[in-house]
Amino acid sequence: MRAEIVSMSADRLDEEALLRAGRILKEGGLVAFPTETVYGLGGNALDSRASIKIYAAKGRPSDNPLIVHIADIDKLSLIVSEVPEGARILADKFWPGPLTMILPKSEIVPKETTGGLDSVAVRFPSDPVAQALIKAAGGFVAAPSANTSGRPSPTTAQHVEEDLGDAIDMIIDGGQVGIGLESTIVDFTEAVPVVLRPGYISLDMLKETLGEVRMDQGLLKADSKVRPKAPGMKYRHYAPKADLSIVEGPIDSVVEMINSFAARAEAAGGQVGIIATDETMDRYPIGVVKSIGSRQEEETIAHHLYEVLREFDQCKVSAIYSEAFYTPRMGQAIMNRLLKAAGHKIIKVQEEQ
């Protein structure tokens, strides 16, 4: 069965469709919906069978826990056994918004939803369509990103349809998402809060609000022996079909290096894909060149990353080369996703002497 697709927007909610979507979720079905980060694949978070269905639809390993979405701060105390002071402060400052917090779970959250863990990931999204759906479903919607496991996360309803159109009951099309990268995850199950996944809310913003915050050691280095603490972060992820490498160094040398790869591929009768920016795209004369956005507006880079990775799946390219994007505010989040998509393949170039 193909998923039914219904369209709505923040200022034009379709109450009748929301009622139906709420009923589908209450009865154990699956509904994909927009949030401000990426599209989510929703199921009733308190129904273990719904969580099992989510894993099956995505082909997601069942040790990779789901995020429980709420749309009312009063609901938080029902699904967690404790709210530490720091979590309260972050909730006040950043909720509703692109922040997920890991807290000790209460009895009513099934282990299927938390991948067997005693903690639960909770987020209160700001997208009005997401909020309306969560309320219609009874208040607790488990939702990972609505992509097939391993593929780039969906930033449009069409992406969801490509991946999951045959596996779920309904897709709510709310247009293109705002941010385009998944939420920042902060773990409160240890003495000092730990960032398990960087996102729009940066480490600096968290430190400014909370004081001491650490970055998960497992995230810092590709060759780290330390495992990332969020089970999902250990998987290769967000990957396009063609082999992706990141070329890093002074921009003139990067452009020159990528052009030499492109020329070599062309001489061999093939072509490469190139992920450039508005500032550099005219400097690549051969290959399939796509601009990801502008370095002057780093939000545009975050916003287009997954879309560009998906677009390359429609092109005949033997390999993809990307510039690196260590932009000031969101660079950590952008590079975390890009490095995972590239399986941490980095080519470092030096400035010419």
Q: Least CB distance from residue 114 to ligand AMP, whole Å? A: 5
Question: Counting contacts by CB under 5 A, is residue 113 touching Mg ion?
Answer: no
233 binds, among ligand AMP, Mg ion, none (CB under 5 to 8 A by kind): ligand AMP
Q: Least CB distance from residue 274 to ligand AMP, whole Å? A: 28
230 binds, among Mg ion, ligand AMP, none (CB under 5 to 8 A by kind): ligand AMP
Q: Between residues 114 and 327, which has the closer beta carbon with respect to ligand AMP?
A: 114
Q: Write the secondary structure of 5-56 as one string of H (helix), E (strand) and C (coil).
A: EEECECCECCHHHHHHHHHHHHCCCCEEECCCCCCEEEEECCCHHHHHHHHH
Q: Between residues 60 and 290, which has the closer beta carbon with respect to Mg ion?
A: 60
Query: Whose CB is nearest to Mg ion?
Result: 145
Sign of CA dihedral 284, 290, 294, 295: negative
Please choose, out of 98-106, 139-147, 247-255, 274-282, the segment that lies near Mg ion by the rule CB under 5 A: 139-147
Q: Least CB distance from residue 295 to ligand AMP, whole Å? A: 26
Q: List the structure tokens of 279.
A: 């500032």
Q: Least CB distance from residue 164 to ligand AMP, whole Å? A: 13
Q: Least CB distance from residue 120 to ligand AMP, whole Å? A: 6
Q: Between residues 153 and 322, which has the closer beta carbon with respect to Mg ion?
A: 153
Q: Least CB distance from residue 183 to ligand AMP, whole Å? A: 7
Q: List Cβ neighbours of 144 (8 Å cut-off, separation of 6 or more).
A: 40, 41, 54, 58, 60, 64, 66, 67, 232
Q: Least CB distance from residue 145 to Mg ion, whole Å? A: 3
Q: Between residues 184 and 245, which has the closer beta carbon with respect to ligand AMP?
A: 184
CA nearest to 127, candidates 39, 54, 19? 39
Please give the Cα distance from 216 to 194 (Å, whole number): 6
Q: List the structure tokens of 111.
A: 């282990």
Please give the Cα distance from 10 to 273 (Å, whole number): 36
Q: Between residues 53 and 290, which has the closer beta carbon with respect to ligand AMP?
A: 53
Sheet holding 346-348, edge to edge: 288-291, 273-276, 319-323, 243-248, 346-348
Q: Between residues 67 and 136, which has the closer beta carbon with respect to Mg ion?
A: 67
Q: Between residues 114 and 145, which has the closer beta carbon with respect to Mg ion?
A: 145
Question: H helices of the chain, where?
Answer: 15-26, 48-58, 76-79, 85-94, 128-136, 157-164, 203-210, 217-220, 251-267, 298-312, 331-341
Q: Are 130 and 137 in contact (CB under 8 A)?
A: no
Among 35, 44, 119, 145, binds Mg ion (CB under 5 A): 145
| Contact footprint for ligand AMP (CB under 6 A) | 64-67, 102, 114, 117, 119-121, 144-145, 182, 185, 196-197, 229-233
Please give the Cα distance from 251 to 326 (Å, whole number): 12
Residues contacting Mg ion: total by CB under 5 A = 1
231 binds, among Mg ion, ligand AMP, none (CB under 5 to 8 A by kind): ligand AMP
Q: Least CB distance from residue 83 to ligand AMP, whole Å? A: 15
Binding site for Mg ion (CB under 5 A): 145
